[in-house]
Amino acid sequence: MTSISLFRKKDSKAFRLELYDTPENISMKLFYKILETNNLLLLAKNQDRVKPENHEQLNAVWLDLLDFYYRSTNKQSWENFLRNLKATVKIKNEIVSCTAAFELFKLNDDIGLEYLKQFGIKSTNEEGINAAILAKETKLELTENKLIKKEQGEAFNMYRLMADLKVSHNLTVDVENTCLAEWVEILKRIAEKNRLEQEARNNNKNKRNGRNIISR
């Protein structure tokens, strides 16, 4: 990518995987496949070499690709995605902190209750605290599902757009050999073309309305 990564940390010595990690070297087909499945292992050219410590890097690479795609095609959608992502991270942190505080409480350490209150858990018995933590886990699951459904919906839109291009523009895109960068440029040109056509239609409509007013 030409811009500085928003999400990636410096590569560690332990990470030497070959990845489809830029808009120029990942095909649009693979990009949308990951959107559909949420399988980040597909980013690795050799999935057998992926180790547990590599998953953070895969996630960072994927966020960079999403950033490139959404900022170029739908900024509002990207902002919504980031909002849901931040909510997910916040809930995860709450669950980790509450679980740790719960363990302190079970060891008869009163500071555990104080920590739990900071996260909205006011119960003072094990059953109530456990239920509150489970509720947060349910909330996390719902928030994560929003992210997954959004990405799956974006993949569906791609197939629909491909059909529209074939019918209205007589354009067939080779999904195997078209990289994400090229596909984004196609989308941007189509959006610009549609904008200009809409402006032309509006201008013609305004001219017709003006002539009708004069003729009266």
Task: Find the helix or strand (DSSP H, E) in which 189 lies.
Answer: helix 180-215
**Of 12-16, 77-81, 115-119, 137-141, where does mean pLDDT reach its minimum?**
12-16
Q: Is residue 19 part of a domain?
A: no
Q: Is residue 5 part of a domain?
A: no
Q: Is residue 62 part of a domain?
A: yes
Contact 27/180 with Cβ under 8 angstroms? yes
Q: Can you give the pLDDT at residue 78?
A: 76
Q: Is residue 110 part of a domain?
A: yes
Geometric angle at alpha carbon 43, from 156 and 29, rounded to 5°? 35
The share of the chain scoring above pLDDT 90, in percent, equals 38
Question: How many Cα neighbours within 13 Å face the side chain of 99?
Answer: 10
- Domain extent, residue 205, equals 28-215
Q: Is residue 9 part of a domain?
A: no
Contact 45/27 with Cβ under 8 angstroms? no
What's the structural domain count of the chain? 1
The tokens describing 125, both together, are 């018995």
Q: Is residue 142 part of a domain?
A: yes
Q: What is the pLDDT of residues 159-186, one digit of tens each?
A: 777 777 777 777 788 888 999 999 999 8
Report the SS3 class of residue 27: strand
Residues 6+ apart with CB under 8 A from 73: 184, 187, 188, 191
Q: Can you give the pLDDT at residue 151?
A: 66
Contact 72/184 with Cβ under 8 angstroms? yes
Q: Is residue 15 part of a domain?
A: no
Residue 41's identity, in one-letter code, is L
Q: Is residue 6 part of a domain?
A: no
Residues 6+ apart with CB under 8 A from 143: 84, 87, 88, 91
Residue 4, pLDDT above cutoff 60: no
Residue 64, pLDDT above cutoff 80: yes
Q: Can you give the pLDDT at residue 216?
A: 58
Query: For residue 118, how far is the Cα from the chain centroid?
Result: 30
pTM given for the model: 0.64
